[in-house]
Structure 1
Amino acid sequence: MNETLIYLDPEWKNILEDNNLGTFEQLWQLKLTSVDEGNVGRGKNGWSKVCIFSFEDDKQLQHTVVIKRQSNYRSHTLRHPLIGVPTFLKEMESIRRYEQAGIPALKAVYCATRKINGELQAILVTEFLSGYQPLEHILKNWQEQDRPARQDCAAIAKACGSLVGTLHEQGLEHRCLFPKHLFLRVNKDRVDARLIDLEKTRWRPRFEARRVRDLTALARRSKQVTNRDRIYFLRAYFRISKLDAHAKSLWCQVAKRIDKKRRS
């Protein structure tokens, strides 16, 4: 058995060890229920599943983490074009990149891989985003219930625009920017936003290209928002008080791309 520890948060080390969660095997053998059906493929008998796990430590403090486990679930890269690497390693790399760039996202707890009985297994543990909910759920509530006050909708749009703007300013493209991957914590005086599912994030030198692709993905799946919401989003995205020619041009490109996809 060949284990490789990729990352362990020093603040979590004792917490995990004291609760019999400090080794790969202990995390792998946990009996957990997946949040969805998971993914299959990307390798021989490959699979990947996500679970939420809560536990109480000896000081009666409650902890909640997201535990992702996978086997033979790989992604091909320039360094590993044939065999590929576990997709969790790519996400762990992106988590580090986001943190270094100051982009609010997931916080890693533990990441490791091991080879056993011909399988390449991987585990990624992240802190649960307590108090947050995906934009997808917020927009669904807007559709099924009365929309909140204008200023509340504006605050959410601005938080999303600011976060995505920061992402693109750092030269990064999320490549899977859907409402379900943008998490928000809404308080009375502020809205905090974070990004998840970072595996596909890429650095992209062509500035407009990364903007158009990501914004198209987000806009296509955010049909509940109004034109006013989009204006708030774009103002925060560009950090401007009034839409200028550049902002309008970008949105025209996004709208054309959406229309093209709708027709195809």
Structure 2
Amino acid sequence: MIQSLPIEIKNMNFNRIMDQVRQTTDTTVIVPENWGQGRATFGGLVAAMMYEKIPTSISQDRVIRSIMLSFVAPVAPGEMDVIVTVLRSGKSATQVQISAYQNDAPCAVMLASFGGARESTIKIDYNDAPATKAPESVAEFPFIPKVTPDFTQHFDYRFTEGTMPFMGSTQNTMGGWIKLKDPCNQPINVPQILALLDAWPPATLSLLKAPAAGSSLTWSMSFIDSPQTASANHWWQYEAKIKQAQDGYSHIDATMWDENGKAIVMSHQTVSVFA
């Protein structure tokens, strides 16, 4: 049931939200209010909360390899039930389904695949990060209440490729640097990666000359590496490319690299654009 939330829950930062999810022993978690984007809660936060409910025992000796996510309905602030089901755990991989519900109706479904490393004769490295301006040399993307989405107040953005949304760009790329504003003393984790990766606006919106709605329909990620030292407070480079768009839908590929130019995750989103 969607309800008015206490002030301490309304104003939670990202890491505090994840602590709350981890400490909750039942299936119900609380979605805070200051993470909105339009009529919905920021999808990266929803994905992070769903992932955080996966028991650590499932992935003790296996690392995340891929995630597929379908956003079924907008998530509102308040209670959200998260159901985790291990579909199969074989010799080399574990497949987990995570389903989120509000008012007994599905709002998001995730499939997470974990796998251990093994010897292989095939090794192809991903491209290093493209050359771009240093984050310190670029102006910060401002948070403007009632203009920019609420959730953007929790991130530090520096645009270096393409333009910000609704500026009539002629480029099919968007990118720059991003970091989480919350203090982070540990190496970056998967929920933080999900939040940083999804915090960027759909690249398609930069092509528009006037504000219009847009939302992710589906989202898939392939994880390349697990950073061992850098935290979510370090700068992470991001680049998105619009691969195709028509009929109100666009297909966007994106990559995120660490400060040293090493790729950690690839992303593909199908985005609905209402313009």
Higher-Rg structure is 1
Calculate the TM-score normalised by the size of structure 2. 0.23
Calculate the TM-score normalised by the size of structure 1. 0.24
Higher normalized strand content (fraction of residues):
2
